[in-house]
Structure 1
Amino acid sequence: MTDTTVPSGDPTYRGIVYPWHCDHMGHMNVMWYVGKFDEATWTLMARVGLTAGYLRSAGRGMAAVEQQISYRRELLAGDAISIFSEFIEVKEKAVRFRHVMVCDSDGAIAAETTLTGVHIDTGLRKACSFDPAIKARFQLQEQ
């Protein structure tokens, strides 16, 4: 991950680092970065129609198959953060996307992650194609 730009648009997550998010080193533990990135993922997916309601009614799901995280600076209790997200690549059955976590007080990038998610048929537990209407919305988001 060498891209250090922050994606444009509205944030997909906003929150605070709470004291219980911090470890023995006094900074936010890595498990909380992953959790906050996951919350941003569901906001990003909802923007293209992959809402919880759609996934349940259509018998579909999304499964993460790869994730790379780069930690750039510490976050401490009380820090307000925002996550900005973008789609990088959309394929027939998979999507690659990126989240950038920013410390609101100074705009510095705290962490970024790139993920690959696969669209699955939850009954068959196999990858399946995105609905054409959803794939079209992905492409609109990529522009």
Structure 2
Amino acid sequence: MSSSTVTYKGVVYPQHCDHMGHMNVAWYVSKFDEATWNFFAMLGLTPSFLRQSGRGMAAVEQQISYKSEMMPGDLIEVRSRLIELKSKAVRFAHDMFNAETGTLTASTELTAVHLDTQLRKAVAFTPEIAACAEAAFAIGGEGAVQ
């Protein structure tokens, strides 16, 4: 298991809340998605790299656990960690916290594949991406590219 790092900071606005008065599930997913793109950039999968190389990333699996409500005005921090980097896929997790109290509010684990955007099929990560992942998340052993 690799170390985690902050990939998103934000706030819960009233428009993020549902009729129960707490942040709606759609906004948990949205904030996790923003964390995902920051996480990808740390792996070297920056917007410019993806555009210039004709590559993309697609989520293929996601599981979310909701632990505690987020209310209007709550400050959010998402910490992310790399679980596994395979030749064409990455598995990672995000933990969302109330930044003021430190309370874990939600967790998600995702699997995404690296795509050729023209062929619309999975392709291998470059060796540079693997090296970037290792440097950013101190992976090794079972977490290495397979």
Query: For residues 119-130 of structure 1, what are the structure 2 equivalents within 5 Å?
Result: 119-130=114-125
Instruction: Please give the alpha-carbon distance, in whole angstroms, between the structure 2 residues aligned to 1:104 and 1:113.
Output: 17
Mapped to 1, the partners of 2:103 and 2:3 lie a distance apart of 15
CA RMSD after TM alignment? 1.2
Query: Partner residue of 1:86?
Result: 81
Partners of 1:94 and 1:27 lie apart in 2 by 34
Which residue matches 2:6?
11
**Post-superposition offset of 1:137:** 1.3
The residue matched to 1:134 in structure 2 has which SS? helix
Gap regions ≥5 residues in structure 2: 139-146
Aligned-pair identity in percent equals 57
Structure 1 segments unaligned to the other structure (5+ residues): 1-6
Normalised to the residue count of structure 1, the TM-score between the two structures is 0.92
Mapping 1:100-119, distance limit 5 Å: 100-119=95-114
Instruction: Tell me which stretches of 4 or more aligned residues in structure 1 moved more than 4 Å.
Output: 7-10
Question: How far apart, in 2, do the equivalents of 1:13 and 1:53 lie?
Answer: 20
* Residue 30 of structure 1 pairs with residue 25 of structure 2: yes
Q: 2:48 aligns with which of 45, 53, 71?
A: 53
Shift in Å at residue 10 of structure 1? Answer: 4.2
Deviation at 1:76, TM superposition (A): 0.3
